Amino acid sequence: MTISIGTAVRFTVNGVPVVAEGPGSRRLLDVLRDDLGLTGTKEGCGEGECGACSVLLDGRVVNSCLVPIGQVAGGDVRTVEGLATDGRLGALQEAFLQGGAVQCGFCTPGMLASAAAFLASRTPPTDEAVREAIAGNLCRCTGYTKIVEAIQVAAGAEVPVERSEPPEAPTWGAPFASPERPASGEPATAPPSLRVPVRPPADARRPDLVAVRTLPEALHRLAEGGYRPIAGGTDLMVGLEAGTADPSVPLLDLWALDELRGIRLEGSGLVLGALTTYAELRASPVVREHLPAVARMAGGVGAVQIQNRGTLGGNLVNASPAGDTLPLLLAADAEIVVQSVRGERAIPATAFWTGYRRTALAPDELVVGVRVPLPPARHVVFRKIGTRRAQSIAKASVAVAWRTDESGAWRDVRVALGAVAERAIRAPETEAVLEGRVPARDVADEAARVVAREITPIDDVRSTAEYRRAAVARVLRRIVLEGGDAVAEAKLA
Ligand SMILES: Cc1cc2nc3c(=O)[nH]c(=O)nc-3n(C[C@H](O)[C@H](O)[C@H](O)COP(=O)(O)OP(=O)(O)OC[C@H]3O[C@@H](n4cnc5c(N)ncnc54)[C@H](O)[C@@H]3O)c2cc1C
Ligand code: FES
Ligand code: FES
């Protein structure tokens, strides 16, 4: 099914069936505002940072500026206009109004979308949990206290709510109150549609989008050549908007490929499908039990909107040296499983990233998943150094994996680093310092000295080489010291 000029994407907006036309990579935001006149949804940054364009898609909060309309086929969209009933404000809107949580109002529709998803999740509305739920929504005038209180009031909570940590795996990414999408991508019933007038292509930055239903179909398309895969679009849609991605190449939509989804234990390892989102990684009991560092890493990516759409495969292939999954997978000795019509192969993570934003993937290959071995008694730790908790791309990141032997010494040590070179790297000299040593202050100091010497970071918009070197050394030192504490605790127990 090719979605292009003259073909239609059917979905519902606030319960009303609609048809949108135009290239399948048009932004959901543009269809809502320009075609449907639903101007409650705002455009701020246009690149996923501010949350002003947030809406609910199949019950999950997403940035509509990053969602290609072709991926909305058969879906259910809720905008701020859908929160009112019969022209009367909903409880959440009333709470914002009465609580002084609105000033200029620009951020409010997006805030309400995030808040609605949060309330529907029935997560206890602690201060921390509410703040995390709206971390992807920027407000330039109200300050967040009144917004947080309004959400707590709407949740029926007494304000102020006792401060506590948010749950490790919040449920507010989970779908609510939306019909399940049938496999065909079409609405379950076909009520009369409100047809949207055909528009000329909005601009030349919007390529067509080709939806495929099976992996073999996707691989055949790739073998023909001339397509670029798209998963959650959180990198690619930003690139199209910024003019850094080639708009003349049609997008191959992977989103419906069930073969690329799922998290499962296989043999003595963990298999993560390429389309696994950060929200899924974070919430998965299997990941939390067997590779908790991955669940914690996922909780630190972007904010809820990005976690609901961004995928593991997209992060790997985007190949930013600052990508959060890269050092973790390097330290964990993962293999990237790729497929083409020629067959399947597994590429060790150490050989997958070949340079700045370059990978060993051939043009006709797709990443289908990642295999992570789970050797007994191994620890994996990941730390990201950023400006703030949400929406921060790493200034640098450190991942360390090791196994502790009977004497308390570290074995099979892996140290991997992000954002300190043109690609994510292992640090073999630092690994050699730690291998076979019992973690202690002198070992931690030596490892910190060696890692600072071993890396050659650069100055760029996010940080300086000097800061990166110092921060990586400090973080590694702390990880080693904490490892030493763990050994001491184990001996006492
Ligand atoms: C506001 C914001 C905050 C962000 N925060 C973070 C962060 O904290 N940490 C971080 O690491 N990243 C972050 N990102 C970047 C982005 O969200 C991630 O890199 C995400 O994992 C990309 O996945 P995707 O599915 O959206 O990729 P897409 O945009 O769909 O694709 C990215 C690239 O991968 C290719 N691709 C996708 N899937 C496959 C596949 N299965 N096989 C072959 N090629 C494929 C595409 O062709 C494209 O080249 C952020 C982005 C935004 C906009
Ligand atoms: S407009 Fe800022 S996140 Fe979409
Ligand atoms: S109320 Fe003005 S940006 Fe939030």
Confidence band (pLDDT; 50, 70, 90) for 166?
very low
Average pLDDT, the chain: 88
Q: From the centroid of its chain, how far is CA 114? A: 16
Percent of the chain residues topping a pLDDT of 90: 76
Q: Does residue 465's CB lie within 6 angstroms of at least one atom of ligand 2?
A: no
Give the residue with greater pLDDT, 459 vs 402: 402
Determine the 3-state secondary structure of 232 from DSSP.
Answer: coil
For residue 160, whether the previous peptide bond is cis, meaning omega lies within 30 degrees of 0, is: yes
Q: Does residue 23's CB lie within 6 angstroms of at least one atom of ligand 2?
A: no
* C-alpha span between 485 and 493 (Å, rounded): 12
- For residue range 223-252, list pLDDT tens digits in order: 999 999 999 999 999 999 999 999 999 999
Confidence band (pLDDT; 50, 70, 90) for 386?
confident
- For residue range 249-261, list pLDDT tens digits in order: 999 999 999 999 9
Q: Does residue 301's CB lie within 6 angstroms of at least one atom of ligand 1?
A: yes
For residue 156, what pLDDT is reported?
A: 85
For residue 172, what pLDDT is reported?
A: 39
pLDDT at residue 163 greater than cutoff 90: no
Confidence band (pLDDT; 50, 70, 90) for 90?
confident
* Cα–ligand 1 centroid distance for 38 (angstroms): 28
The two three-digit tokens of residue 45, written as one number: 């940054």
Q: Which of 467, 427, 471, 419 is nearest to 450 (CA)?
A: 427
For residue 270, what pLDDT is reported?
A: 98
Q: Does residue 134's CB lie within 6 angstroms of at least one atom of ligand 3?
A: no
* C-alpha span between 28 and 35 (Å, rounded): 10
* C-alpha span between 308 and 117 (Å, rounded): 12
* Cα–ligand 3 centroid distance for 144 (angstroms): 10
Q: Does residue 142's CB lie within 6 angstroms of at least one atom of ligand 3?
A: yes
For residue 484, what pLDDT is reported?
A: 65
- CA-nearest residue, atom 2 of ligand 3: 104
Average pLDDT over residues 84-101: 89
pLDDT at residue 171 greater than cutoff 60: no
Domains of the chain, CATH where assigned: 1-211 (3.10.20.30), 257-374 (3.30.465.10), 378-493 (3.30.390.50)
To which H or E segment does residue 478 belong?
helix 465-492
pLDDT at residue 483 greater than cutoff 80: yes
Ligand 1 atom nearest residue 231's Cα: 30
pLDDT at residue 200 greater than cutoff 50: no
DSSP state string for 387-444: SSSSS---SEEEEEEEEE-TTS-EEEEEEEEESSSSS-EE-HHHHHHHTTPPP-HHHH
Q: Does residue 46's CB lie within 6 angstroms of at least one atom of ligand 2?
A: yes
For residue 393, what pLDDT is reported?
A: 81
The predicted model scores a pTM of 0.91
Sort residue 242 into left (φ over 0), alpha (ψ -120 to 50) or beta: alpha
* Cα–ligand 2 centroid distance for 50 (angstroms): 5
Confidence band (pLDDT; 50, 70, 90) for 313?
very high
* C-alpha span between 51 and 302 (Å, rounded): 11
The ligand placed nearest to the CA atom of residue 102 is 3
* Cα–ligand 3 centroid distance for 233 (angstroms): 27
pLDDT at residue 271 greater than cutoff 60: yes
The ligand placed nearest to the CA atom of residue 325 is 1
Confidence band (pLDDT; 50, 70, 90) for 196?
low
Q: Does residue 139's CB lie within 6 angstroms of at least one atom of ligand 3?
A: yes
For residue 463, what pLDDT is reported?
A: 82
Dihedral over alpha carbons 391, 393, 394, 399 (to 10 degrees): 80
Confidence band (pLDDT; 50, 70, 90) for 85?
confident
Q: Does residue 49's CB lie within 6 angstroms of at least one atom of ligand 1?
A: yes
- For residue range 356-377, list pLDDT tens digits in order: 999 999 999 999 999 999 999 8
Sort residue 243 into left (φ over 0), alpha (ψ -120 to 50) or beta: left
Which range among 39-53, 200-214, 366-380, 458-472 shows the weakest confidence by mean pLDDT?
Answer: 200-214
- For residue range 387-437, list pLDDT tens digits in order: 766 667 888 999 999 999 999 999 999 999 999 899 999 999 999 999 999
For residue 204, what pLDDT is reported?
A: 65
Q: Does residue 313's CB lie within 6 angstroms of at least one atom of ligand 1?
A: yes
Sort residue 400 into left (φ over 0), alpha (ψ -120 to 50) or beta: beta
* C-alpha span between 242 and 252 (Å, rounded): 20
For residue 389, what pLDDT is reported?
A: 64
